[in-house]
Amino acid sequence: MENLYINRELSLLEFHKRVLAQALDPDVPLLERLRFLCITCTNLDEFFEIRVAGLKQRIELGARAQGPEKLLAKDVFDTLHVEVAELVRQQYELLNKVMFPELTKAGVRFVQSQEWNKEQREWLGEYFDEQVVPVLTPLTFDPSRPFPRILNKSLNFIVRLHGRDAFGRQRHRGMVQAPRSLPRIIKLPEYLSKSGEDHFVFLSSIIRVHVDRLFPGLEVDGCYQFRVTRNSDLYIDDEEVSDLVRALEGQLEASRYGAAVRLEIGHQCPEDLQEFLLDHFNLQEFDMYLVEGPVNLNRLSTICSIEGHPDLQYQPFAQGLPEELLGDEDIFTVLSQKNVLLHHPYQSFVPVIDFIATAAKDPDVLAIKQTLYRTGADSPIIDHLVTAARSGKEVTVVIELMARFDEAANIAMANRLQEAGAHVVYGLVGFKTHAKMLLVVRRESGSLVRYVHLGTGNYHHATTNVYTDYGYLSSGKPLGEDVHKLFLQLTSLTQAEGMTRMLASPFSLFDALMDKIRREIENAKAGKNARIIAKINSLNEQQLIDALYEASQAGVKIDLIVRGICSLRPGVKGLSENIHVRSIVGRFLEHSRVYYFLNDGEEEFYCSSADWMERNMFRRNESCFEIRQKAMKDKLRRHLELYLADNCQAWVLNGDGSYERLAPGKHERISAQETFLEDLTTPV
């Protein structure tokens, strides 16, 4: 094989295709299919904002081939363009030929402008005049009034005009920018809908139909929606920055108007207006996507949770609790006797929030330390940390400001905590703090006891309902000491040494993983059973991939459950015959990271915040903790085996980089996510 590695961008696009397949799946409830369709839109947005933007920059700079696969950026971009164009075509074909008709049958109707009856037209006209016009600013432009700046991913309309304005000047084009304060989908009153049905109208349709009211005295000869996607990657020079918050705020503002990388336009837009927009944004024809429908499919996500259509949605469930937390004992009493392993979203995240709430109010708690990467704008965790700080406890929060697309929220969160008296430490520029750790120091019988929570996912109460993750609660002394050392590393920037229960990037995790892979290689060469299982989100670190290739050739059985990017080629003769890679894509986003090593029968299990990517190994602060209790190891083993047996939501990676979806066929139907739902939750 010419290339031993799969390109990162091409592999990521394959993941987006797997998500779209969920929207195409007739066995998925209809509104959930629509949600998956919306997710593919937001995924593509970020893909263009970050990955495609980076490729275009490298092309412009004439950069050499990069990455382990050594492909030129131009070659990758050309391949991506063809693949993305086909994906977009499938999106809109699904929307128009399947989603809209099926939703209409189910009583959820998007009423097209040509279908409006007299009463609807009158109501929408009044809505436009009273609710829309006051916040719109119609524009025309000429050399003295240039084309306005267009905000990243905003909804806009290019308007063809004829005639002279009030000042006697000929006008040919105008523009309307839809403020973000306006809802993109409007629900019609019940009296304007059929009985028992929900009727909706797109804001874009309302503006298009009534746009002539915005340009009185001029003839409107067409109104077409468009959206521009811009380079949104942030760059902070760690050699020059003196005030991270100020530098980041400046970058956030600039990113709203970064270089254009994609132009989406309504498919009926005439060629001359297409060319006008392409020229203005300095884009080429291959950067343009003509779409037959809303230019931002994600606006449809607002109806995915509408009430009154339970048959179109996933069955709700009540999250369970582990047996250890079912009694009346407080969390400190429980953890003083046993450790707790939580499996989200099947088991509730509430115990973690309650742990922080209890610590905030407990007079015996002296200090709380926590890392925060993403938490959400209305996080109860922040409320509890504020309460703790105001009550005089030592609260230290390590906040990663540069959590992509959450930067502004994290700055606001940091300011609030500082105002309450908490010690706020920002992640080190160039080394994101991605670790998920919480440490509570409590005085008990004259001694100080450390309680910890470690996780594979973020402290975000909303995403814990849809992301699969593990959380670990413990008062174990060695583990508490390790977490204490890691917090010292994050705050004082001194290296944590002598840890016995944890591994951490950027200092010890990579070397430890390489040593464990080599140990499996030696065991295989000695004729012993050798096995590696890793459940991660992404894999592209070349040295780890090469080590896995070597392990495969030595006879180590390797199973990789990689949700997204995977640059390793499995099943290649003479290279990776003993490596199997699968991706699980289902109702929940697979986010947990678990590493398993057979170790000649002395099995090792680790949970971690880190994927097997170069950035996670060398440019991030990551945490990895060992699970030693037999019952918990047995549980994790069962979970991994269930993922490897899944034949409903599993996709198998081929050596050429393509994926094939498994199907039960005549075999027993096995779905890991459905099994967890049945075992750990209660239907509502």
pLDDT digits (tens, 9 = 90+) for 393-444: 999 999 887 656 566 777 788 888 999 999 999 878 788 899 999 999 999 9
Domain 318-500 classified CATH 3.30.870.10?
yes
Please report the pLDDT score of residue 14 as a whole number: 97
Please report the pLDDT score of residue 405 as a whole number: 57
Task: Give residue 249's pLDDT band: very low, low, confident or very high (50, 70, 90).
Answer: very low
Half-sphere exposure of 139 (CA within 13 A, CB side): 18
Tell me the fold of 8-307: polyphosphate kinase like (3.30.1840)
In 3D, which of 384, 542, 365 has the Cα closest to residue 461? 384
The answer, yes or no, to whether the previous bond of 345 is cis (omega within 30 of 0) is: yes
Task: Give residue 571's pLDDT band: very low, low, confident or very high (50, 70, 90).
Answer: very high
The residue annotated as part of the active site, out of 434, 453, 591, 639, is: 434
Q: Say whether pLDDT at 377 is over 60.
A: yes
Q: What is the mean pLDDT of residues 176-180?
A: 91
The answer, yes or no, to whether the previous bond of 146 is cis (omega within 30 of 0) is: no
E-strand stretches of 165-259:
173-177, 185-187, 198-202, 219-230
Please report the pLDDT score of residue 328 as a whole number: 84
In 3D, which of 385, 328, 377 has the Cα closest to residue 352? 385
Q: Determine contact, residues 606/43, Cβ cutoff 8 Å.
A: no
H or E element: which one contains 203? Answer: helix 203-210
DSSP code per residue over 81-106: HHHHHHHHHHHHHHIIIIIHHHHHHT
H or E element: which one contains 36? Answer: helix 30-46
Write 661-664 long-range contacts (CB < 8 A, 24+): 661/18, 661/21, 662/582
Region(s) of the chain under CATH 3.30.870.10: 318-500, 505-683
576-634 confidence digits (pLDDT tens): 999 999 999 999 999 999 999 999 999 999 999 999 999 999 999 999 999 999 999 99
Bridge-based pairing of strands 659-661 and 650-653 is: antiparallel
43-95 confidence digits (pLDDT tens): 999 999 999 998 998 888 887 777 777 888 899 999 999 999 999 999 999 99
Half-sphere exposure of 553 (CA within 13 A, CB side): 11
More confident residue, 374 or 39: 39
Percent of the chain exceeding pLDDT 70 equals 95
Q: What is the mean pLDDT of residues 237-252?
A: 45
Q: Say whether pLDDT at 238 is over 50.
A: no
DSSP code per residue over 440-469: EEEEETTEEEEEEEEESS-S-TTGGGTEEE
Please report the pLDDT score of residue 233 as a whole number: 75
Q: What is the mean pLDDT of residues 153-166?
A: 91
Cα→Cα distances 206→157, 341, 538, 539, Å: 12, 52, 43, 46
In 3D, which of 203, 206, 224, 232 has the Cα closest to residue 270? 224
Please report the pLDDT score of residue 684 as a whole number: 72
Q: What is the mean pLDDT of residues 119-139?
A: 95
Q: Say whether pLDDT at 247 is over 60.
A: no
Q: Say whether pLDDT at 457 is over 90.
A: yes
Q: Say whether pLDDT at 380 is over 90.
A: yes
Residue 402 is given by DSSP the state: T
Between vectors from CA 233 to CA 204 and to CA 490, what angle results, nearest 5°?
130
d(CA 482, CA 488): 10
Q: Say whether pLDDT at 257 is over 90.
A: no
Q: Say whether pLDDT at 476 is over 70.
A: yes
Domain 505-683 classified CATH 3.30.870.10?
yes
Task: Give residue 241's pLDDT band: very low, low, confident or very high (50, 70, 90).
Answer: very low
In 3D, which of 26, 35, 15, 80 has the Cα closest to residue 54? 80
H or E element: which one contains 161? Answer: strand 156-162
Q: What is the mean pLDDT of residues 91-105?
A: 96
Structure tokens at 166: 């009030």
H or E element: which one contains 370? Answer: strand 365-372
Task: Give residue 195's pLDDT band: very low, low, confident or very high (50, 70, 90).
Answer: confident
540-556 confidence digits (pLDDT tens): 999 999 999 999 999 99
Task: Give residue 242's pLDDT band: very low, low, confident or very high (50, 70, 90).
Answer: very low
Task: Tell me, rounded to whole angstroms, the distance of Cα 253 from its chain centroid.
Answer: 22
Please report the pLDDT score of residue 427 as a whole number: 78
Region(s) of the chain under CATH 3.30.1840.10: 8-307
Dihedral class, residue 217 (left if φ above 0, else alpha if ψ from -120 to 50, else beta): left
Q: Determine contact, residues 673/587, Cβ cutoff 8 Å.
A: yes
Q: Determine contact, residues 521/551, Cβ cutoff 8 Å.
A: yes
Q: Determine contact, residues 540/613, Cβ cutoff 8 Å.
A: yes
* Cβ burial 32-68 (10 Å sphere, 16+ → b, else e): bbbbbbbbbbbbbbbbbbbbbbbbbebbeeeeeebbb
d(CA 297, CA 95): 9
Please report the pLDDT score of residue 256 as a whole number: 61
Mean pLDDT of the chain: 92
* 461 a catalytic residue: no
Q: Taking the complete model, does pTM exceed 0.95, yes or no? A: no
304-344 confidence digits (pLDDT tens): 999 999 999 999 999 999 999 988 899 999 999 999 999 99
